[in-house]
Copies of this chain bind each other. A is one copy, B any other.
Amino acid sequence: MSRLRAALDPKSIAIIGASDNPNKVGGRPVHFLGKFGFKGKIYPINPTRPEIQGHKSYASLQDLPEAPEMVIVAVAGDNAIAAVEDCAAAGVKVAVVMASGFGEVDQIAGKAKERRMVEAARKAGMRIVGPNSQGLANFGTGAIASFSTMFVEMEPAAANAKGHVAMLSQSGALSTVPVGFLRQRGIAVRHTHATGNDSDITVGELACAVAEDPEVKLMLLYLESIPDKAYLEELAAIALDRDLPIIALKSGRTEAGKAAAQSHTGALANEDRVVDAFFEHHGIWRAPDMRGLVEATELYLKGWKPQGRRLVAISNSGAVCVLTADAATQVGMPMAKLASETDAKLKSILPGFATTTNPIDLTAALLSNSALFGDILPVIAKDPAADAFLIGVPVAGPGYDVPAFSRDTAAFAEQTGKPVVVAATQPSVAQVFAANGTSVFPTEVEAVSALHQFLAHHELMFRARSRRATRPPSEALITPRAETLMLNEADSLALLSSRGVPVVPHRLCLSRSEAVAAFTLIDGPVVVKGCSADIAHKSELGLVRLGVTSADATGAIYTEMEQIIAKAGARFDGVIVAAMAGGRREMMIGAHRDPVFGPVVVIGDGGKYVEVFRDTKLLLPPFAAADVHDALKGLRIAPLFAGAHGEPPMDVDAFVEAVVRVGEIMRDESAGVVSIDLNPVMLGSAGEGCVVVDAVVFHGA
């Protein structure tokens, strides 16, 4: 931890506004530093008392025997600003500012106060955590610069030093609530940091530093907004390099949530689907809610190297077998098909009324013969079709040898090295399994959900790592210029064509006679469109005519459109005469620049109802053809590509190629393209390709 060392592992900590009452904001850190075994120097600062919680108290920063590496600023309002200025002057390395009432309350005056503190700090080379921060807590070093109420009921140092989980958040409550859940499951946490308003050190920068702590095996994040992607990209890179899984709960998914986040932390609203795409691109698992943030934690700490998703379920309840098969299928984990030798061996062990196909139902026969369980596990362990295991013991007690089940399960997990989870309703049973190091969930649905998350996250990280290995990292963000220009359709098509995106055969005609000639050249019914860089919605002005069948008509329409455009007071850029594009499905390709995440490419089902159905997927450049194929598989219309209803397959490769080209245009700063809207892109049968029929491109001014 060379980065931000003074924030995570300071040698000395002073507390401005220290209180003798361990339940006051200024008293808690003093108490926690003692309780959690901080080895460095502790300097309470409070001019009204000689001693604070057994430590000598100092009247001011100037009275300390040394400049402390970290200062906790536990005084309120403008006093906090003055304290920060004092810290900067005194050569402090990091100030943790707990006071509220800054940018989170007042976007103008509050933010200005934050800037004042940050400027003072920058000049002196000091860093700031906060303001409005609940504080930092590194249980590995005992540096608990926090006033969290959650730590009051936490066990002291010993238990926590073994922790391998890091939890980071701007929010105080959300930095500690997951910790509370994990403690209830007996899982210790190493880092718990709440960065508050992120005026200087952001949660992302701190996460990069924490990710370098080799003891951290799993990182959890709670984010209300992502104002800047750079640190998250760096974090993801560090994490992929050292195989550190990251799970993020990003709230503000809905409009109501975004509004509440704005009130809470002045959060900038991110476009939620872009956030999804960003996390996926970087191998970060997005938890749907608080429960999803913590639910699978234990599985990440086992050191398993999963090879697949095929599940084997074993239970003494047939109903649990049924529910497990339902739950697994619904999340996309197939039930493994066991070998016939496995089946034969199971049949020789189990009674006739048991079920030997997967899911394996031991039935209530287990009540008469507790050895059944230990007898079948080694048989199943040898079957190569099994990637992961769920053992359901919904009810047990007197008559069942639960300690033996637990030992057999632990031995089985050891033997296979594959993921094994147990579902056990009764705490009395769950405790016996947990005591032997097995991960236990109250129901099969929670067990399957956690297992699925762990396996799918592993696959996500694998894909993100391969993507990184084969392609250059994302470039610095091109900030879209405020002024953008719409290209006329002819220029839009020309730009696309020059970059290798197939467009419909067409001619831009600047006279009636050129239009007539174009008809003859194209030879067949044509589409005639008026062309003007001032007119985005051509149809509404009568500037699109489909199925024109004669040269004369084409000429007449030319004249008519010239007049319409003149009447509209718009530039006349000519008239496009284009072939009637064939194809079987109207697709769409869009692209824009997200203010935070940069270029975003949207692909999917096209046509006029694209906004109604939104059957689209997002891709973040750089991406390759394989990524586009993966994205297409997630569309609702995906079954059509292979040919539904007896139809031949479509030319998906051609569409993928066009999407890749659009991604390249968006990555190329010199192209200066701000947004692209191609709809429809007509997709034909295999070998027929695809063509862009309508195109609107916006360019930097």
Contacts and interface: CB of A to CB of B under 8 A. Distances in A.
Contact of A148 (B24, B352, B395): B395
Contacts of A446: 291
Contact of A177 (B222, B327, B334, B395): B395
A17 to B, nearest CB: 14
Query: How many copies of this chain does the complex contain?
Result: 2
Interface in A168-204: 169, 171-174, 176-177, 180-181, 184
Interface string A406-429: 000000000000000000011110
Interface in A233-252: 251-252
Nearest 4 pairs of A and B residues by beta carbon = A264-B318, A173-B317, A257-B326, A254-B329
29 contacts: A23-B399, A100-B363, A148-B395, A150-B395, A152-B397, A172-B364, A177-B317, A177-B394, A180-B425, A180-B426, A222-B319, A251-B323, A253-B330, A254-B330, A256-B325, A257-B322, A257-B325, A260-B324, A260-B359, A263-B318, A264-B321, A264-B361, A265-B318, A290-B443, A290-B445, A291-B446, A609-B640, A611-B645, A613-B637
A149 interface: yes
Contact of A395 (B149, B329, B427, B640): B149
- Tell which of A177, A251, A428 has the most Cβ of chain B within 10 Å: A177
Contacts of A327: 289
Contacts of A259: 325
A222 B443 CA distance: 15
Nearest to A249: B323
Contact of A352 (B105, B152, B252, B265): B105
B153 A264 contact: no
Nearest to A644: B612
Contacts of A508: none
A113 to B, nearest CB: 13
B184 A427 contact: yes
A261 interface: yes
Interface string A600-627: 0000000011011100000000000000
Interface of A: 22-25, 100-101, 104-105, 134, 148-150, 152-153, 169, 171-174, 176-177, 180-181, 184, 222, 224, 251-257, 259-261, 263-265, 289-291, 316-330, 334-335, 352-353, 355, 357, 359, 361, 363-364, 367, 394-400, 425-428, 442-446, 608-609, 611-613, 636-637, 639-640, 644-645
A326 B272 CA distance: 12
A663 B320 CA distance: 38
Contacts of A24: 399
A553 B263 CA distance: 71
Contact of A254 (B23, B253, B326): B326
A401 to B, nearest CB: 12
Contacts of A364: 100, 134, 172
